[in-house]
Amino acid sequence: MNLHKRSLIIFLGILTGFIISSNSGSVNVLASTAVAPIIDGTISEDEYSSSTSFASGDYLFYWQIEGDTIYIGLIGKTEGWVAIGFEPTIAMKDADMIFGWVESNGTVITIDAFSTGNYGPHPADRDLGGSSDIASFDGSESSGSTTIEFSRLLTTGDQYDNTIPSTGTYNIIWAIGPGDDFGVKHTNRGSGIIDLTSGEPTTTTEKSTTTTEEPSEQSPGFEFLIVFLTLAGGLSVYRRKTR
């Protein structure tokens, strides 16, 4: 048998084997599409393909992109609102924001908003003439933490939504508020850069600031100095008068 014939027989053998195994259903096709997170207001371990933590775990951010949709989960240490902002230009300005909170009667509220100024205001997209583009959402509150999950299209077409790319790095800002009023300023906020590329390790940079009590304008030492100088001045005037 020459080489040509032998190659033909080997080829036909492989082809026959492939057809038989296909028909018997024994070919294992690896699932290439991941399961999308379930938007039910609770986040289980490994539900999302990517996650990162800010403020020593006081704010957790989860995400997964499936097709043209991004699924997002937020857990903030607050009984008030939690929020995420996409791609600001300066501080909060031009950030496409999503707020969410759970009211005392269990009602879950989310707001698709947009920050028009460096430090707000951030009206709802609808109030600016745009649209609310949160495709699905749910939330829950327990042990002083609020969980909000939502999904939206990467590109919504609304001028008050920033397009989210499916690969590469992306700037986000986050915040948590003290109550269920999204007009009341955050108690904790920060910013970071996340890597949206599927399968890439999460590279997150962080800058967080917790709002504490307003610092007193003058230190106790300064107040003591004022009292001391006043007393010293008064004493010297008294001495001059009594001479």
List the one residue out of 104, 59, 44 whose CA is nearest residue 79. Answer: 104
What are the distances in angstroms from CA 122 to CA 96, 157, 186, 192, 196?
9, 19, 13, 20, 25
Question: Containing H/E element for 151?
Answer: strand 145-153
Q: How far is the CB of 206 from ligand HEM (least distance, A)?
A: 11
Cβ–Cβ < 8 Å for 172, 192: yes
Site for ligand HEM in 3-32 (CB under 6 A): none
Q: Which is nearer to ligand HEM, 22 or 163 (CB)?
A: 163
Of these, 60, 84, 102, 196, which contacts ligand HEM (CB under 6 A)?
84
220 prior amide bond cis, ω within 30: no
Q: Which of 36, 40, 66, 91 binds ligand HEM (CB under 6 A)?
A: 91
Structure tokens at 242: 């009594």
Among 185, 203, 225, 230, binds ligand HEM (CB under 6 A): 185
CB of 167 to ligand HEM, least distance (A): 23
Alpha carbons 10 and 61: distance in angstroms, whole number: 54
Q: Which of 175, 180, 194, 196 binds ligand HEM (CB under 6 A)?
A: 175
Among 53, 87, 109, 120, binds ligand HEM (CB under 6 A): 120
When asked if residue 78 is in the footprint of ligand HEM (CB under 6 A), the reply is no
Q: Which is nearer to ligand HEM, 89 or 198 (CB)?
A: 89
Torsion of CA 62, 65, 71, 76, to 10 degrees: 20
Contact 41, 136 (CB under 8 A): no
- For ligand HEM, give the closer residue by CB, 40 or 145: 145
Are 96 and 161 within 8 A, CB to CB? yes
- Closest CB to ligand HEM among residues 197, 208: 208
| β-bridge mates for residue 98, sequence order | 84, 112
Region from 28-36, 137-145, 157-165, 189-197 binding ligand HEM, contact rule CB under 6 A: 189-197
Three-state secondary structure call for residue 142: strand
By CB under 6 A, name the one of 60, 72, 74, 83 that touches ligand HEM: 83
Residue of the chain from 129, 157, 179, 183 that contacts ligand HEM (CB under 6 A)? 183
Where along the sequence are the contacts to ligand HEM (CB under 6 A)?
Answer: 83-85, 91-92, 97, 119-120, 173-175, 182-186, 189-191, 209, 211
